[in-house]
A and B are shown apart, each in its own frame.
Chain A
Amino acid sequence: MAEYRAIRVEKGSGGFGGPLTIQGTEQKNKVMYITGGGVAPEILNKIVELSGLEPVNGFKTSCPEDQLALVIIDCGGTLRCGLYPKKRIPTININPVGKAGPLAQFIKEDIYVSGVTDANISLADGSEAPAAAAPAEEAPAEEKKGIDTSKKLSEQMAESGKGNVLAKIGLGAGKVVATFNQAARDAVQTCIGTLLPFMAFVSMLIGIINGTGFGTFFSTLLQPLLGNVFGLMILGIVCAIPGLSAILGPGAVISQILGSIMGAEIAAGRISPHLALVGLFALNCHAACDFIPVGLGLAEAETETVEVGVVSVMYSRFITSWIRILLAIVFSIGLYTAV
């Protein structure tokens, strides 16, 4: 009877996972939505229209799992978002939620996509294998069915009428809350994943430096460099020497250690806080010199551009380093001078 076309679903802004390719079959021909207490999500119309799948309201009725080609949910990151991925049923979450909740480990890019809006849904161009097996033949007759289905849907929406305003507010509020919740999750992850390890690492170094008396030795060694304008200028320019700058770059580890040491020296009163701004620029002259090929790759640069760019950026870092530090010196006027 009905014909099914493969659709491609990409993640929306702030979303996770995908792109998924959904292909309905004779057996797997239903899309179930479990959203907003039974209100059809906005994206449902387009999905039904494009794919030819039959919509099922998960709040009103249920559907055997082996008939489900797709599930649409609006989970804020507690349970549902992991439930269907766990059963390996392709899942769209209209909220921008990533790997979260007790079933987070099942939420993977190949079965789950989130933050989806109408703009993220399109017909698959056929270049990607469908997430659900067995492709079906295409036929022109299906368009009629698509329109019919969507009409029914809009009728459905019209029938429920004014209740929808409330539901819309509810859905909107739910989305904002889910967005903040996900933002918090990401933020905590950043703290645990990158900030705390680095703090622990540098703290141990500082412990060794301070606890062994090495600090006094080390700071007398670095004092001439970190403790005055000229030293910082020299440090900045030397760090930016092409080639050396790329070696000193990775993870900004060296800069971060020097920054922490300089801070400790400022706190101890051995370096004037007036130099803080100059220090920031001096320690940063060689920033990202190790990252140039990757960074240009992110900008989708051609191979020749990368070849030229790597050298060019290192040169410009070197050439402009003294200008940056000079600017910092000039703009340090009046900064923490009262101390």
Chain B
Amino acid sequence: MSRDTVYQYEPMHHHEPEYRPAHRASRRRMLQDACCGFGGLALNTMLASDDVRAEGRASLSPLPAHSQARAKSVIFLFMAGGPSHLETFDPKPLLNRLHGQKRPAEFGEARYQFVETDARLLGSQRRFRKHGQSGTEVSDLFPHTAKCIDDIAVIRSMYGDMVVHSAAQYELFSGRLNPGFPSIGSWVLYGLGSESSSLPAYVVMPDPLGALEAGQPMYMHGFLPATYQPTMFRPGTQPVLNLNLPAGVSISQRQKTLGLIQDLNRAAPDHVQDEFAARISSYDLAFRMQMQAPEALDLSQETRETQELYGATEKPTEDYGRRCLLARRLVERGVRFICVVSGGGPGNMQWDAHQDIEENHLRKAAETDKPVAGLLTDLKRRGLLDDTLVVWGGEFGRSPEAQAGRGRDHHNLGFTMWLAGGGIRGGQVVGATDDIGLRAIEQPCHFRDLHTTILHQLGLDQHQLTYPHLGRNERLTFVEGRVIRELL
């Protein structure tokens, strides 16, 4: 037994790798840059040696994982605002029995953002039923997802550190309570590069309904080079900024301009030097992306049956369904990390059900249940689910206490998320909250454990994936996380 076991919180320092400043302008990196973009070129084998990772890595060319990877891509179905665990995957008969009473003292204390200490417990009106061979309980909010339950591993014992949206969203994405740190999508890109030659490698599809509390910084690359920034998809038919030509300019004309740029650049005597060679390659790649990406983004190439599977042809599932379907098309083409956001704008347009949990969750579930199930089904039948890790959840759950009579407040001490595909053993429930759903009491899983597990499935090690910033080798898991082995 080492001392790590005795003093559980200490281990991060034992594992902290030696401080190794990035060699930001190495020749090798410049060469790598040449084949990057928001889609890297195919792997240049000369660069695939071990020391690639040691050299600052500002590239998107694919890199070897630290260990055997189970997943190649991640789709994060981000239920923004905080979906209730009590109405979805964590039935609590006792809570229903205690409806209208104060929380019994034996359950301990909780801090809420709005609910006061004299609040009363709120029973759930949802019906739960066992589904699939596994018999995992799912509420009647999710009839479609319930059919996929044998592919899903439900974690009922998630917890985080903050009970306000912005800080909790930062923690969910970056492991930190404050903005400015790279999101998990950027870290994954930094660790693995891209396998797509014509598409962005890290994509965020925000809800057109509007913004979230943590804003754009939540998805961003923080202090990592701009190579690792997400591409924010816009609503409509031209989701990627600058991929389309300016009005009035034809492709053949622009091709000639590009030709002039490359001719002039190559005419300069020092064009073979690293920085310049890299820029010249980036123009070749940009043009290729411009030609190829529109096809990838075109949903009309899907059959009617597939579109209907996602609910992409009818309200209220149309919007989320289209974005889930697009996510599948991206995964097929090697895109590494995709975040599909449900919820945006004012709280009640998110899963942030302060006023009326029934009204809010019935509506949000109706918008997303079929698309989510459609995505899982479609990934599976195409053989993509094996190496695509799908993660579902929000920045926290909701309070067992009532707010404003029928609503629920934010709640970070115990809530539910789920994972599917990418080497996750479906059809199981991990962890548990107490009998009123207040606190994770069995196998509690922190966001850092979720992050560690996602990295692990991608073949990345939380201790090796570091970047020097302000005198520290920063990493995604500030405090060491654990791989949630029960899921595997």
Q: Say whether A associates with B.
A: no
| A binding-site residues for B, Cβ under 8 Å | none
| B binding-site residues for A, Cβ under 8 Å | none
